[in-house]
Amino acid sequence: MRDDVEDIEIRLLLEALYQRYHYDFRRYAKASVKRRLKQAREQLGYASYSAMQDALLHDPDMLERLLGYLTVQVSEMFRDPSYFKALRETVLPHLKTYPSLKVWVAGCSEGEELYSLAILFREEGLEDRTIFYATDINPDALQAAARGIYPIDRVKLFTENHRRSGGRSSLSNYYTTGYGGAVFDKSLRERVVFSDHSLVTDAVFGEMHLISCRNVLIYFDRDLQDRAIGLFRDSLARKGFLGLGAKESLRFSAHATAFAEFERDEKIYQKREP
Amino acid sequence: MTGNPIAIREDIRAVVIGTSAGAVQALSAILPPLPADYPLPVMIVVHVPPDRRNALTELFQTRCAMAVREAEDKEPIAPGVIYFAPPDYHLLVESPAFLSLSTDEPVLHSRPSIDVLFESAADAFGEALVGVILTGANQDGAEGLRAVGEAGGLAVVENPVGAAASAMPEAALAAWPEARVMTLEEIGAYLRNLGNKR
């Protein structure tokens, strides 16, 4: 019985978040949202989700705190090196035939995937003709992505991942140490546009040649996944590429037929001709 | 706790299992005897290194009569299937009908985490769940087993005395002392009987 009440409270809290601030988590996958909200409730010291809802409605500072719990994702640079290796070896050779390129990192969080792609494109000689769009719904995460500073103790893993992805240079060429972390070179984000964009409520983001959106869709329910994948289909240029996380697939999607498997094991898809 | 024969509850709809050190041997005693038409789904978290390849799935595919899969995101939950959590992802029960995955922070240094699976499964299945903690070397699973018990589900712990690594079953028992303590053989027989009774 207690859990039923809690479920109602959680639905009302998410409804309040949407009506008051237009952040829409109502169709996020329930199990993970619940886990994150529980963590927020315990750490912020609220007795109930109703009390959190009250605070959220009346105290705008509460929004930032709650978004931190609901959205922030710690990732790795070159997470799943074989994905980046596949991009390097089979996708980028296609992209080399275009005079200018647009790449969208959807749900970029604190930027690990963005910097990985920027380094990859530089190593493969494509950076100069590319504009990267890095989007997220959390303004704090976007700011962290724009700073590009990561804890030094994580860089060993990033370096190993980069090497395994077929990196043609040393990762240490791209950062200096300071501020208690590895500060990635600002030249890597000269061609990056950071932007607030929601896969839940916002519209098409035009004419992309590559969209990389890894381990974001797993947080959505199936209807919302379909919305996002439809958005990707409509945002891709002719024969554009879509890269998903290692355990995500279009298999259960209503838009599965709009894409062909390009690198099946790496979950890289290519938009079919209409 | 031990001693009394355990009544087979016919309302059980799913089984979750968590284990780490010693997992392969323990699971090899329990899973292969379950028949291909076992009427329940079995979701399993084993602590594995965050490597991409799930050797466990391949290993148990060759040993088990039941279908064995590495869980995919939003995969429908089907009876007669054993789902392993993929390396480096949490496995959650989204509802009695679907699984989901997450890349949330490791819990007790573990991703996948037993607590995450058990707590979400307890939430989705309530009292219709059996949670089993086997051999293992850390505390993960203790909070999860408590959640299973508090939701009215059946909590089972491998006897720490005979377990390859006792820390995990001991922590689970400390967190939920009402749990049934069984040997591996008894757990295997119990799960088989659970399937026969429907």
CATH number of the CATH domain containing A91: 3.40.50.150
Domain count, chain A: 2
Per-residue pLDDT band at A11 (split at 50, 70, 90): very high
Identify whether residues A138 and A261 lie together within a single domain.
yes
Identify whether residues A138 and A169 lie together within a single domain.
yes
- The beta strands (E) that lie in B33-80 are given as 42-46, 67-70
How far apart CA B144 and CA B168 sit, in angstroms, is 12
Q: What is the ipTM of this complex?
A: 0.90
Identify whether residues A49 and A141 lie together within a single domain.
no
Query: What's the pLDDT at B1?
Result: 44
Contact A206, A113 (CB under 8 A): no
Q: Is residue A76 part of a domain?
A: no
Identify whether residues A65 and A90 lie together within a single domain.
no
Residues of B in contact with A218 (CB under 8 A): 73-74, 100-103
Contact B107, A32 (CB under 8 A): no
Active-site residue set of B: 20, 47, 140
Mark yes or no for CB contact A3/B74 under 8 Å. no
- State the residue for tokens 């589900």: B153
Mark yes or no for CB contact A247/B86 under 8 Å. yes
A29 touching chain B per CB within 8 A? yes
Contact B79, B40 (CB under 8 A): yes
Instruction: Give the closest-approach CA distance of B93 to chain A in angstroms.
Output: 7
Mark yes or no for CB contact B72/A3 under 8 Å. no
Identify whether residues A56 and A91 lie together within a single domain.
no
Structural domain containing residue A149: 81-271
Identify whether residues A217 and A169 lie together within a single domain.
yes
A98 touching chain B per CB within 8 A? no
How far apart CA A191 and CA A214 sit, in angstroms, is 21
- Residues 6 or more apart whose Cβ sits within 8 Å of residue A108: A114, A134, A135, A136, A141, A142, A145, A194
Three-class SS of residue A259?
A: strand
**pLDDT tens-place string over residues B98-110:** 999 999 999 999 9
Helix (H) or strand (E) holding B168: helix B167-175
**pLDDT tens-place string over residues A188-198:** 999 999 999 99
Q: Is residue A228 part of a domain?
A: yes
Identify whether residues A171 and A100 lie together within a single domain.
yes
B57 touching chain A per CB within 8 A? no
**pLDDT tens-place string over residues B14-62:** 999 999 999 999 999 999 999 999 999 999 999 987 765 678 999 999 9
Across the beta sheet with A259-263, the strand order is: A192-196, A130-136, A101-106, A208-213, A236-244, A268-271, A259-263
Q: Is residue A237 part of a domain?
A: yes
Identify whether residues A106 and A232 lie together within a single domain.
yes
Mark yes or no for CB contact A32/B103 under 8 Å. no
- DSSP class of residue A185 equals -
Query: Which residue, A48, A71, A94, sits at the end of a domain?
Result: A71
- Helices (H) and strands (E) counted in chain B, each on its own, are 6, 9
Per-residue pLDDT band at A111 (split at 50, 70, 90): very high
Q: Is residue A57 part of a domain?
A: yes
Contact A210, A104 (CB under 8 A): yes
Instruction: Give the closest-approach CA distance of A97 to chain B in angstroms.
Output: 32
Which of A1, A73, A247, A250 has the highest number of chain B CBs within 10 A, making it the mutation to test binding with B?
A: A247
Identify whether residues A9 and A55 lie together within a single domain.
yes
A130 touching chain B per CB within 8 A? no
Give the A:B interface size as CB pairs under 8 Å: 65
**What is B14-196's CATH topology?**
Rossmann fold (3.40.50)
Contact A100, A92 (CB under 8 A): no
- Residues 6 or more apart whose Cβ sits within 8 Å of residue A178: none
Q: Is residue A172 part of a domain?
A: yes
Residues of B in contact with A34 (CB under 8 A): 120, 123
Per-residue pLDDT band at A72 (split at 50, 70, 90): confident
How far apart CA A232 and CA A199 sit, in angstroms, is 9
Residues 25-54 of chain B whose Cβ lies under 8 A from any Cβ of chain A: 52
A252 touching chain B per CB within 8 A? yes
Domain extents in chain B: 14-196
